[in-house]
Structure 1
């Protein structure tokens, strides 16, 4: 933003989704399990239909075509547009952000003020843990997560887990023998602790076959 603060890609995605939904009410907007919860919540508030997708550009493009999704955002900073053959475009992303900002700037607001409603949550950085067998390690991780009695544990491109104050995802890497983990909370310390605890567990089963 104008203060040099890094903005999570989910926040940019939320801004673009709101911008498009203003003229396309009820449209489908895609997100992944690694994307901040703020993005999904913004879609719902703006009257859109959130569509959960598998992480990875090939999977996202395929899902967008099959489900006629208007726009999708990935935590890695890729933004996909139906109007650009369901592929990602830096140019369209920049144009959408500039269009949205022009509206709030006319009201005297700064870029950071425009982003403020989407900055409620704090995410950890992705952590990748190498394992010998992704399927075995993921199943053992599922059992471990269940033992912690989460409010919700959903199978989706891995597992999305919600403990109430902290939530996140563990998924198999597409390109490596590894599991990827990310957590989020209103308090960064809770997300970091949960991620550290789970990384420790995954490392303990990393050699399982």
Structure 2
């Protein structure tokens, strides 16, 4: 009788693996996941005559090395070689996968608390592995292997995979510097909050001399560079405003030109100006996108930029005016990466401060986006606040979550008010991702998007308008409809 599959769906989600250690994730589980990854992705996609290989890295969480060891054992049991690069940011792992042309696995739980860890898997060339591109099959096979209580078919001893170690931090830093030249910018003072995450490892290598590269005209003031997966100072999630307060205060106290905040695995980067005010990720998307488009235009090449549907309207406005083609996509890195590859896009940006580059294997890297901001600021004389103003002409609400008894009923109230009865006048409606209602081509200008969470009874609202009063009115009117049941 075939044993019943162990259900891993509680922590193997749509885009990655993320669970509690050791109750959900432990070396036995990661061994099964490693073997399943080999069977589902690595071996079928290894070119004939090539040696199957996977590159593996981990962040600063104490559980990382043991989980990596289990994963590597699962891979080698299938005849797959493992290249361990040790500590790395997630974009450092993507770089290794792209440079070596092999699949990869990054052990991280990003900004989650210390008791969590996880895995981000990718195919050769840093191509994503999600629920529709192999992760579901990996999850199910791993569950079968755990249920059987054995690793499954193993190769003979002399055919087992090998494990080697390689330090790639210097190569990563040199590669990023080859994409953005900061050697000639005016001297800048920059405060960097690493949140005790992997930015404390990568920033000294890329922006300093930690990897043996020449000094740049940057005075880096470090905040929380000590690698500590318990996050003793604040959560390593700059998307939450309270986690930016130390950085904002330090920028003003040090008279810095700007501040940068990285999340736990340092694949996202947030920016604050010289006054300590946050610069929206949409503004960064527009700024970096225009730089990439200008480079393509100068080379006589057409350019495409990807943005998700809740980035500011300033992004398609400015990039289209600069001659680029813009493609609007759903929220989520797998959608962005898919569209990046399909359209050979030079750049892509998300409201969550993930930034994607064709020159970085179509993958996301907060460090490269930060370098573009430093270059843009250092190549002219104005402060960042003045530079950023031209990319922030509109007012947004930010993402507001509402817990509701019935997502469908709450959504229907909004549809009835804004679409069926059109009380707000003529609007454009689409359902690319949730419900987007736009009054942008008429006065007053506004739009909103209402999306349901995939895992909780939540509705997520984003509103943008031409001025504050309009944004507040639309925001409050929609929230009143969404939350009506709570007041009934």
Q: Do the aligned partners of residues 131 and 34 (structure 1) sit closer, same or farther apart at CA in structure 2, a change above 3 Å counting?
A: same
The aligned residue for residue 70 of structure 1 is 346
The whole-number CA distance in structure 2 between the counterparts of 1:174 and 1:189 is 31
The aligned residue for residue 51 of structure 1 is 327
Residue 291 of structure 2: which of 16, 19, 23 is its match?
Answer: 19
Flag the structure with larger Rg.
2
TM-score, normalised to structure 1, is: 0.87
The DSSP-based 3-state class of the residue aligned with 1:184 is strand
The whole-number CA distance in structure 2 between the counterparts of 1:96 and 1:204 is 44
Q: Does 1:144 align with 2:144?
A: no
Residue 481 of structure 2: which of 191, 201, 206 is its match?
Answer: 201
CA shift for structure 1 position 63: 2.1
| Aligned 8 A contact 2:353 2:366 in 1 | no
The aligned residue for residue 107 of structure 2 is none
The DSSP-based 3-state class of the residue aligned with 1:160 is strand
CA shift for structure 1 position 193: 1.8
TM-score, normalised to structure 2, is: 0.39
The whole-number CA distance in structure 2 between the counterparts of 1:188 and 1:200 is 18
Structure with the largest fraction of helix: 1
The aligned residue for residue 190 of structure 1 is 470
Q: Does 1:127 align with 2:400?
A: yes
CA deviations over 1:21-72 (Å, ceiling 9, x no partner): 0011331111122111111212112211111010011221122222222211
| Aligned 8 A contact 1:138 1:158 in 2 | no
The aligned residue for residue 115 of structure 1 is 388
The DSSP-based 3-state class of the residue aligned with 1:197 is helix
The aligned residue for residue 458 of structure 2 is 178
Structure 1 unpaired stretches of 5+: none
| Aligned 8 A contact 2:413 2:481 in 1 | no
Higher relative contact order (CA 8 A, sep 6+): 1
The aligned residue for residue 10 of structure 1 is 282
Q: Select between 48-57 and 38-47 the one with higher mean Cα deviation.
A: 38-47
CA deviations over 1:159-182 (Å, ceiling 9, x no partner): 222224222211222332222111
Residue 81 of structure 1: which of 328, 335, 357 is its match?
Answer: 357
| Aligned 8 A contact 2:410 2:481 in 1 | no
CA shift for structure 1 position 116: 2.0
The whole-number CA distance in structure 1 between the counterparts of 2:346 and 2:407 is 33
Structure 2 unpaired stretches of 5+: 1-272
Q: Does 1:41 align with 2:321?
A: no
The DSSP-based 3-state class of the residue aligned with 1:190 is helix
The whole-number CA distance in structure 2 between the counterparts of 1:175 and 1:74 is 21
Q: Does 1:159 align with 2:159?
A: no
CA shift for structure 1 position 13: 0.8
Aligned pair count reads 203
CA deviations over 1:103-151 (Å, ceiling 9, x no partner): 3x2xx32222222211211111211122345455434432321122343
Q: Do the aligned partners of residues 173 and 100 (structure 1) sit closer, same or farther apart at CA in structure 2, a change above 3 Å counting?
A: same
| Aligned 8 A contact 2:410 2:483 in 1 | no
The whole-number CA distance in structure 2 between the counterparts of 1:176 and 1:71 is 31
The whole-number CA distance in structure 2 between the counterparts of 1:202 and 1:2 is 38
> For the aligned residues, what is the CA RMSD?
2.0
